[in-house]
Chains A and B, each alone.
Chain A
Amino acid sequence: MIKRSPASAARDATLTATALVLAALFVLFGAIALVALILRITPSGMSEALRDPVVAQALWLSVRTSLLSSLIIVVFGTPLAALLSTPFRGRAALETLVMLPVVLPPVVGGLALLLAFGRAGLLGRELNFFGLHLPFTTAAVVIAQTFVAAPLYIAVAKGVFTRVDPELLDAASTLHASRAYTFIRVVLPPAMPALAGGLTLAWARALGEFGATITFAGNLPGVTQTMPIAVYMAAQTDLQAAIAIAVILMVLSYGALLAVRHAAGDSGLGL
Chain B
Amino acid sequence: MLSLLLIAQTVLTVFAAASLHNAFPALGKQFEAAHPGVTLRFSFNGSQILEAQLESGAQADVFASADERWMDKAVSAGAVANPVAFASNQLVLVVAQQSNIASPLDLTKPGTKLVLCAQAVPCGAYARRLLAGMDADPAYGPKYSDAVLQNIVSNELDVESVLSKVTLGEADAGIVYRTDALGKTSVRTIALPVLPGTPIAYYVGTVHSSAAPSDATAFVNFVHSSDGQKILAGFGFTAAPQ
Contacts and interface: CB of A to CB of B under 8 A. Distances in A.
A144 B29 CA distance: 40
A205 to B, nearest CB: 21
A239 to B, nearest CB: 7
Interface string B46-80: 10110010000000000000000000000000000
A235 B48 CA distance: 10
A235 B52 contact: yes
Interface string A199-227: 00000000000000010011110011000
Nearest to A237: B120
A136 B113 contact: yes
Contacts of B48: 236-237
B154 interface: yes
A120 B170 contact: yes
A197 B52 CA distance: 37
Interface in B124-168: 152-157, 165, 168
Interface residues of B, number: 21
A126 to B, nearest CB: 16
A120 B168 contact: yes
Q: Is the interface of A mostly helix, strand, loop or mixed?
A: loop
B157 A119 contact: no
Contacts of A233: 118, 120, 155
Contacts of B154: 136, 217-220, 224
A135 interface: yes
Given A219-B155, A220-B155, A118 B170 contact: yes
A235 B118 CA distance: 13
Contacts of B153: 135-136, 218, 220, 223
Given A136-B113, A218-B115, A236 B120 contact: yes
A222 to B, nearest CB: 12
A217 B96 CA distance: 18
Contact of B156 (A118, A135, A218, A223): A218
A236 B170 contact: no
A135 B170 contact: yes
Most chain A CB within 10 A, of B49, B170, B171, is at: B170
A219 B170 contact: no
B157 A114 contact: no
B213 interface: no
Given A136-B113, A235-B52, A239-B52, 11 more contacts: A115-B168, A118-B169, A135-B170, A136-B153, A218-B115, A218-B154, A233-B120, A236-B49, A236-B120, A237-B48, A237-B120
30 contacts: A114-B170, A115-B168, A118-B169, A119-B169, A119-B170, A120-B168, A120-B170, A135-B153, A135-B170, A136-B113, A136-B153, A136-B154, A136-B171, A217-B154, A218-B153, A218-B154, A219-B118, A219-B155, A219-B157, A220-B152, A220-B153, A223-B153, A233-B120, A233-B155, A236-B46, A236-B48, A236-B121, A237-B48, A237-B120, A239-B52
Interface of B: 46, 48-49, 52, 96, 113, 115, 118, 120-121, 152-157, 165, 168-171
Interface of A: 114-115, 118-120, 135-136, 214, 217-220, 223-224, 232-233, 235-237, 239
